Amino acid sequence: MASLNVGNLGEYLREQRRSAQLSLRQLAEAAGVSNPYLSQIERGLRKPSAEVLQQVAKALRISAETLYVRAGILDAERDRDEVETRAVILADPSLNDRQKQVLLQIYESFRKENGTGVDVVTDAVTDVVTDAIQDTVADKRGAAGEPSAADGSDADQHDHKPSS
């Protein structure tokens, strides 16, 4: 398991926060973490989880993957291709949600078969990244007024039978 490079991460987060013209308190509130905890992360005293990094990235409107790499959770070179492949699959408008999930499962099974998808930390981070990508896709759909699985409407179901 990669060791976390929290000093470098903290400096980077502080730089991004200042660039976004946010106070520590404002960012902590937007990310849903406590002010002291965020301060400790910025000073390199705490090792945040992938979930906390995702929340902070969302609040700063930056890539969560960048924070994972800075924290040493993701190996930039090794994992970038997998993350990009997943992002492309999830963003493809010609596939429905079920098809996307099946395709991702097949992709992951091939990676495991070839010995490239067995790292537990990478699997956990991949789940968080996949959730973030799905949230982004859902947000875009919501902004465009398109139905999503989250609102209970499934535009891909065509087998409604009229009641007699």
pLDDT (tens digit per residue) in 57-102: 999 998 888 888 888 877 766 666 777 788 888 888 899 989 988 9
Fold of 6-71: 434 Repressor (Amino-terminal Domain) (1.10.260)
DSSP H helix total and E strand total for the chain: 8, 0
pLDDT (tens digit per residue) in 12-42: 999 999 999 999 999 999 999 999 999 999 9
Give Cα 41 distance to the centre of its chain: 19
- CA distances (Å), 10 to each of 17, 43, 45, 53, 155, in order? 10, 6, 9, 11, 43
Query: CB neighbours of 83 closer than 8 A, spacing ≥ 6?
Result: 65, 74, 126, 129
Q: How much is the pLDDT for 123? A: 59
Amino acid at 104: L
Residue 163 has what DSSP assignment? Answer: P
Query: Six-digit token pair at 97?
Result: 């949600």
Question: How far is 158 from 26, CA to CA, in rounded Å?
Answer: 46
Parse the chain into domains and list their residue ranges: 6-71, 76-148
pLDDT (tens digit per residue) in 115-156: 765 454 455 556 666 676 777 667 666 666 655 444 444 444
- How many Å is the Cα radius of gyration of the chain? 19
What is the number of other CB atoms lying within 10 angstroms of the CB of residue 80? Answer: 13
pLDDT surpassing 70 at residue 3? no
